[in-house]
Amino acid sequence: MGFSMDFKGKRAFVTGSSRGIGRATALLLASLGAEVVFHGTKESPQLLSAVKEAGEDASFVTGDLGDMERTAALIRELDERKLFPDILVLNASVQSYTGLDNFSCEEFSRMYRTNVESNLLFLKHLVPSMREKRWGRIIFVGSVNGTRPASRLAVYGSTKAALMNAARAAAVDNAPFAVTVNTVLPGVIATDRNAKALSDPAFRTELEEKIPARRFGSAQECAFLIAFLASENASYITGAEIPVAGGFQL
């Protein structure tokens, strides 16, 4: 089997793809021939711009993944529009700087619904079609915070740890059907979500010094790994948890 990154004939659904890692991943997959279904919490200029850039085969759906009724409606929409994916990139999440001493129950529930429960609903309803075709790729976008706890991101990190556990179970369950399940663990990535925190020069310098590579990563670097895991080349890789963190996970 030769090396190939050709996704013609494959459909990819990337959650949270109006910006950041999700956008970079969706655009890369589209450039490699995939029919991409973008997702955003709501219709926005950023989402529509990404879809337009991806080309005429691209489409989009919207929905707040912190709302389980809306998530279920989104899944029904995918079914009605015959947009069930071959490649599922579960990227969308919410993050807040809340530790174990200052979180609210509302914020705790919001993060667990968005970061964990919605992803498990997608697995429950979208994986059967992959099993029937005996081909599928599921890539979770986790975080090094799931394995390297940070006090001020304790609740967020716990959602990513839960996600990793679910991904391991899904990898075992789906391997007999040629459906792989892997998790990418970004470190500190220079995206718009992190822009405010990284705008503090003192904090930025302090954080860079903790990263062995002495720099932050890019959304494109995460996208390259996700595309590889989604390709035919990665058919024997499942249950992996791969950091894209410049050594920050160590």
> Domain containing 181 — which CATH number?
3.40.50.720
Residue 159 in domain: yes
Residue 246 in domain: no
pTM: 0.94
Residue 85 in domain: yes
Average pLDDT value for the chain? 93
Task: Judge whether 217 and 186 are in contact, CB under 8 Å.
Answer: yes
The token pair that represents 2 in the structure block = 């030769």
CA 169 to chain centre: 17
**Number of domains present in the structure of the chain:** 1
The token pair that represents 62 in the structure block = 């919207």
Task: Judge whether 159 and 115 are in contact, CB under 8 Å.
Answer: yes
Tens-digit pLDDT profile for residues 27-72: 999 999 999 999 999 999 999 999 999 999 999 999 999 999 999 9
Query: pLDDT tier at 26 (50, 70, 90 boundaries)?
Result: very high
Tens-digit pLDDT profile for residues 117-174: 999 999 999 999 999 999 999 999 999 988 887 888 899 999 999 999 999 999 999 9
Where in the sequence numbering do the catalytic residues fall? 156
Is the pLDDT at 2 greater than 80? The verdict is no
105: which residues sit within 8 A by CB, 6+ positions away? none
Say what percent of the chain tops pLDDT 90: 78
Residue 131 in domain: yes
Bridge-partner residues for 182, per DSSP? 139
Say what percent of the chain tops pLDDT 70: 99
Tens-digit pLDDT profile for residues 238-247: 999 999 999 8
Residue 147 in domain: yes
Pairing of strands 11-14, 87-90: parallel
Residue 210 in domain: no
**How is 126-141 classified by DSSP, letter by letter?**
HHHHHHHHT-EEEEEE
DSSP code for 92: -
Residue 86 in domain: yes
Residue 225 in domain: yes
Helix, strand, coil percentages (3-state) for the chain, rounded to 5, are 50, 15, 35
- Polymer length in residues for the chain: 250
Is the pLDDT at 96 greater than 90? The verdict is no
Residues spanned by the domain of 71: 11-189+219-241
Q: Which amino acid is at 233?
A: N
Q: Hey, what long-range contacts does 153-158 have (CB within 8 A, 24 or more apart)?
A: 153/95, 153/97, 153/98, 153/99, 154/98, 154/99, 154/100, 154/103, 155/96, 155/98, 155/99, 155/100, 155/103, 155/107, 155/108, 155/111, 156/93, 156/95, 156/96, 156/98, 156/111, 156/115
Task: Give the residue with greater pLDDT, 102 vs 195.
Answer: 102
Which secondary structure element, helix H or strand E, spans residue 171, and what is its range?
A: helix 154-174
